[in-house]
C-alpha cells in the first residue's frame, strides 16, 4: 500500500469519526437546551394561570355584588312605583246626561 493511499484512508477514518462525534455533540446540546427551557416555561405558566384564576374569581364576586345591588334597586323601584300608580291615576267618572 502506498503512503498516499494510507494517508487518505487514515484521514477518511479520522474524518468520519470526528463527524459522528460532532453530530452526537450537537444532538446532546439540543436535548439539554430543550430540557432547560421546558421546566422554566411550565413554572412560569403555572404561576400565570394561578394569577388569572384569582382575577377571574375576584371579577365573579364583583359581578355577583353588582347583580345583587341591581335586583335590590329594581325591587325598591317596583315597590315605590306600585304604590304611587293607583293614587296618581284618577278614576273614571260616568256623568249622567
The mean pLDDT of the chain is 85
DSSP at 94: P
Q: What are the angstrom distances between the C-alpha of 34 and each of 27, 28, 44, 96?
A: 11, 10, 16, 99
Please write the tens of the pLDDT for every residue from 2-32: 889 999 999 999 999 999 999 999 999 998 8
CA triplet 54, 59, 60: central angle to 5 degrees?
Answer: 100
What's the rounded Cα separation, in Å, for the pair 16 and 22? 10
Length of the chain: 97
Cell representation of residue 29: 446540546
Of 71 and 37, more confident: 71
Q: What DSSP letter does each residue of 52-69 carry, written as one string?
A: HHHHHHHHHHHHHHHHHH
**CA atoms of 97 and 88, how far apart (whole Å):** 27
Amino acid at each position: 500500500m502506498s503512503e498516499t493511499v494510507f494517508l487518505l484512508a487514515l484521514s477518511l477514518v479520522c474524518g468520519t469519526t470526528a463527524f459522528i462525534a460532532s453530530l452526537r455533540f450537537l444532538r446532546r446540546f439540543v436535548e439539554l437546551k430543550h430540557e432547560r427551557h421546558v421546566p422554566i416555561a411550565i413554572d412560569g405558566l403555572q404561576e400565570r394561570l394561578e394569577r388569572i384564576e384569582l382575577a377571574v374569581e375576584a371579577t365573579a364576586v364583583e359581578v355577583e355584588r353588582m347583580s345583587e345591588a341591581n335586583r335590590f334597586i329594581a325591587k325598591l323601584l317596583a315597590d315605590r312605583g306600585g304604590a304611587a300608580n293607583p293614587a296618581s291615576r284618577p278614576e273614571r267618572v260616568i256623568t249622567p246626561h
